[in-house]
Structure 1
Amino acid sequence: MKKTQEVIGLPVISICDGSEVGKVKELVVNAEKGAVDFVIVDNGTQILGASVIPTEKVLGIGGYALTIENSSDMEEISKMPAAVDLLQKDVKVKNTRILTKKGRLIGETGDIFIDEDNRCSIAGLEFISNAAEEQIKIIPRESVITFGKNLIVVAENVEETLLNDAEQLMSEKAAADAEKKNLEFSDEAVITGVSPEMPGAPENTSELLSVNNNSNSPEAYQDNAAGLFKEKQIQYLKGRKATKTITDSLGNIIVSEGMDITEEIISKATQEGKLIDLAMNNKA
């Protein structure tokens, strides 16, 4: 879960060659979907000459960088009519007045929260009340009826659904995902390769449900997302050679220049927060 202010300005890194291809300039919202569809990359040109990345091409959004597979995932915005159309509609969502279904004007939005693990959908909105409350609360996505250019329309009982912080928003998301996953546990069993015929598989449905329920915590979802991203990094980096000696915060060597990059080195670099350094300093 990220606020847009945490994403804008991030370096955009191509993991295939470990190069920085620009910085995040703007996020383009699709109001009908309630999601961010495109990332505009700052390359020093005017907006219609800039490059754009469809969010489906984004591998991950971390504290240090937004990552893509390679620079070919970017395209000139003038060649992407869908992005141009959304820019012309100019639905910002941020700093927009909030109207309830029955016509009460109750405040405006601050920043927005996007779920980078779910196609960059909008998960919630900061709510700045007309009553000038000291604490900014959060409107969950489920309470939003319409994302408009000049107004955001929300459920009449929106005050009853307000959350106090992003942690609650994460918990709401985890609970919703857990409910969906439990309804589809049979499909989940197939996807994860668990079946009653497999050696070591749960012997009954109750045990299977217990296994699935144990993986529904927010930490488990974060671990799954991190695991997928790490696997992509391993596939690319494993067997390449480091072009720079990389050390941890205490000066201990993680990898020396010229060494073959192994899965163990990648794991250690990840633990020490040096994965981006490793991705930017290697060769075939």
Structure 2
Amino acid sequence: MKKSNQFMNLPIISIQDGTEVGSVKSLVVNSQQGTVDFLTVEHEDWQISVRAVPFKKIVGVGEFAVTIENRSSIFDLTEIPIANELVQKKISITGAKLIDRKGQFIGEATEFFIDEENGLILGVAISMQSKEVVLSSEQVITYGRDLLVVKEEAELKFFDHAEQLLQSEKTEATEADPVKENQYKLLTGRTTTKDIFSKSGVLLFPNGTQLKKEDIVTAQEEGPSVLAELTMNVVG
């Protein structure tokens, strides 16, 4: 887990060349997914174009540098429309005001914490009137440009230390795994008796599909309603 400010100005090193190919200028937040999807790159030779490296192209984030395989991992933003769109939204998180869904003021975000393996935002540090606390990203409903909307104040669960975010994440993963394993056992090898569609209307499993484990994972990622529909329409 890294603080957002621990990324700033880090050299970006190409493993293939063994050279510095720029430095981290900013983090590009995907407000819909709650992730950091890109790092914008600063280089003295790039005065006009803005370039970025997708988080999934990062090999590692260390104390002294960010490493990528080679220079081809860095793209001009004009080549990645979604990156350009996210940059224009200017979601910074730090400095944003937090309100709950009923409009009550909670505090101000002073920092946020990122899983350096996948870019997932784990939580936010908040300055409140009398104390500094940490809030899990699970409590965040909306990441806006100037505001974060969170669950109702009565439902909020604050941590005293950022390290507790990792403990919470591990606990949730441990609790969820047995459920998923049971779903795999229940559905793998069975055959669908009707077409199963995603929430957006895309055909996932045609009638007569013999389900594999990866199919169950796909249904789980679509959410409870799709998984329930699948569970009720299989034989074998």
Provide TM-score, normalisation by structure 1. 0.60
Are 1:9 and 2:5 an aligned pair? no
Aligned to 1:242: none
Q: CA 1:27/1:110 → structure 2, altered by over 3 Å: closer, same or farther?
A: same
Match of 1:22 in 2: 22
* 1:224-249 Cα shifts (integer Å, max 9, x gaps): xxxxxxxxxxxxxxxxxxxxxxxxxx
Q: Deviations over 1:244-272 (max 9, x none)?
A: xxxxxxxxxxxxxxxxxxxxxxxxxxxxx
Paired amino acid for 1:170: L
1:158-173 → structure 2 map (5 Å cutoff) = 160-173=156-169
Preserved contact between residue 3 and residue 111 of structure 1 (Cα < 8 Å): yes
In structure 2, the residue matched to 1:120 is 119
Mark the CA change 1:95 to 1:187 in structure 2 (over 3 Å): closer, same or farther.
same
Structure with a larger share of its residues in helix: 1
SS at match of 1:102: coil
Deviation at 1:46, TM superposition (A): 6.7
Structure 1 or 2: more strand by fraction: 2
Cα deviation for residue 39 of structure 1 reads 0.5
Alpha-carbon separation, structure 2, partners of 1:28 and 1:158: 31
The aligned runs of 1:159-198 (5 Å cut-off) are: 160-185=156-181
Name the counterpart of 2:52: 52
Aligned to 2:227: none
What is residue 152 of structure 2 aligned with on the other side? 156
What residue is the counterpart of 2:109 in the other structure? 109
SS of 1:25's equivalent in the other structure is strand
Percent identical among aligned pairs is: 35
Query: Contact 1:124–1:169 at 8 Å: present in 2 too?
Result: yes
Q: 1:68 to 1:158 in 2, by over 3 A?
A: farther
Q: How many angstroms apart in 1 are the aligned matches of 2:166 and 2:158? A: 13
Aligned-pair CA distance for 1:144: 0.5
DSSP-derived class of the 1:82 partner = helix
CA RMSD of aligned residues (A): 2.1
Deviations 1:195-237 (A, max 9, x none): xxxxxxxxxxxxxxxxxxxxxxxxxxxxxxxxxxxxxxxxxxx
Cα pair 2:95 2:146 within 8 Å, conserved:
no
Aligned length: 184
Query: 2 CA distance for matches of 1:88 and 1:44?
Result: 22
1:78 deviation in Å?
Answer: 2.6
Alpha-carbon separation, structure 1, partners of 2:102 and 2:79: 41
Q: Partner of 2:190 in structure 1?
A: none
Question: Residue in 1 aligned with 2:73?
Answer: 73
Change in Cα spacing, 1:46 to 1:21, as seen in structure 2 (3 Å) is closer
Matched, 1:92 2:88: no
Cα drift, residue 187 of structure 1: 9.9
> How far did residue 18 of structure 1 move?
1.7
Show structure 1 runs of 5+ residues with no match: 189-284
Give the 3 Å change call, closer, same or farther, for CA 160–146 of structure 1 in structure 2. Answer: closer
Distance 1:91 1:47, change over 3 A: farther
Q: Deviations over 1:82-106 (max 9, x none)?
A: 1111111111111001111111012
- Structure 1 residue 47: deviation in Å? 7.6
3-state SS of the aligned residue for 2:159?
Answer: coil
Do the aligned partners of residues 160 and 85 (structure 1) sit closer, same or farther apart at CA in structure 2, a change above 3 Å counting?
closer
Q: Which runs of 5+ in 2 are unaligned?
A: 185-236
Q: Give 1:50 deviation, angstroms.
A: 2.8
- CA distance, structure 2, for counterparts of residue 23 and residue 158 of structure 1: 42
